[in-house]
Chains A and B, each alone.
Chain A
Amino acid sequence: MDEKIKARVMDSRKIKRAIHRMATEIIERNRNLDNLVIVGIKTRGVQLGKMIAKLIKESEGIDIPFGALDITLYRDDFLELETQHMVKKTEINFPLTNKDVLLIDDVLFTGRTIRAAMDSLIDLGRPKTIQLLVLIDRGHKELPIRADYVGKFLPTSRKELVHVRLKEIDGNDEVLIAEPNEIK
């Protein structure tokens, strides 16, 4: 383990409540839910997106089309990566043109992932609007990007790490702050 867990800032219950709240906000702010589509950024954005889609269906009875986006090929730090990232498939089986796209990711940090995601969406079609939902906004933005729906604002220092764990992927639901161990 080359990092040290400092705190557990959300547990399963807190995560569920935040997602519920955000689902309600989405329903409130989007008059025309029929035009809404959800795109989750791989990997955990996809799981969060599934949860949101399910809640909207339970509340309003509407099936929101749902897709998964891999942004590896749009990253701007491709040439500086220490190890290559495995490219995964983008799976969006519906048109995006003229749709209201709800983009979902687990953590908003520098904003570069979201920039890459928007570039990719625009190559795939011409959305009418793009809204952003994140579970955690941890500050330290490097680009002018902000989320429309935030589960929790979490002030962090730059060198800290934020880990979102979801039951379906990691075995349990929690949000952790960690710090890399000092390299001797």
Chain B
Amino acid sequence: MKLLIKSGRIVDPASKIDGIFDILIEKGKIVDIKSKIGKQSAESINASNLVVSPGFIDMHVHLREPGQEDKETIRTGSLAAAKGGFTSIACMPNTIPVNDNQGVTKFILSAAKKNTSVNVFPIAAITKGQKGEELTDMADLKNAGAVAFSDDGQPVYDSQTMRHALEYSKLLNFLIIDHCEDKNLSRNGVMHEGYYSYLFGLKGIPSSSEDVIIARNIILAEKADARIHIAHLSTKLSAELIQNAKKKGIKVTTEVTPHHMFLNDSDLKTYDTNLKVNPPIRSNEDSKALIEAVKNGIIDVFVTDHAPHTPDEKAVEFNEAPFGINGLETAVSLILDKLVNKKILSLEKFIEMISLKPAHILGLENKGKICVGADADLTILDINKEIVVDVNKFESKSRNNPFHGWKLKGSPVMTIVGGKVVYPF
């Protein structure tokens, strides 16, 4: 089965290509890239005036299955990912039961194989039950298909446990991802601690709750000479800590979400639970610092931290609502509109941060690049298309997205996975 993509503007950071080329795909791989590929017995797609980039990879998604299928399933989450321009997603293990054993990992992979069109890569837990006490059988889990390890939702609070995890990770070069939160500092908090939490009468989660654990993790990673990836960065100081660590050659990488870059704590004046997330949406100073850190290469990748909840769960008083923001179907348009189209970040850098770099960090060899022999995962963008976000048209089961009604310029228009067009449906 051949697929020919004609006249698209190919932007591939791996090979530094940015030009108009045709791409020929066969049996799920890229087989030819040339300025003009002659007639083929292939399905043909006209990509003129569109940008063709390596398929986007979101390495921080919550699919909720097994156990919480009312919020989202592997199937609906993947449809949302495809519509959002993602060809691969890595899903966090805080399911019910937790993905801390081969059984759950294999279940996720087989459900994905049956039901979805995008690539799903499970992230397994660092500790059993995510309790922060005993390490999981990491080699076993890696064998079963886990691409990284995280207790996300929870921090690994016990420093000794994190130390052991980092040291053990060197065995087979596992990637440890930590959700950095000091649960004593953050206890009972529901939004960022600052002037606005005081004004609104809501208990705050101080920046220091994230900063102290990041500082700890950097020190432990340096000592163990191990890799560590910091999840959903949200504060100005944490960006500085990571910058200093990278300067020293410590193997730390990090990610950021659109809601942390484009929203501020003052937006919570309507007590809208769609803005309730952990780590919280922080101050203007923090969000500006995160965007600077993206520009300066301190932040490595974009993620969504897609965290679906049912509308009923969110339609309650603020303190009672679960934390989490839905993000797969809005992330790319938000970043195109607010960073790329505003010339804060080049298109090439954006694509690198959302395809090549995550592929590299997760060790996905044939992804994140457009070259002969690479997997035929492609995201096609119209960077001038104007859209209005409508949560009621989402593929995701959930609606807890704070960007409803936003007018954005730039949108994914086609998603191709393994040589098949998975979006439009």
| Direct touching of A and B (C-beta under 8 Å) | no
B residues near A (Cβ < 8 Å) are none
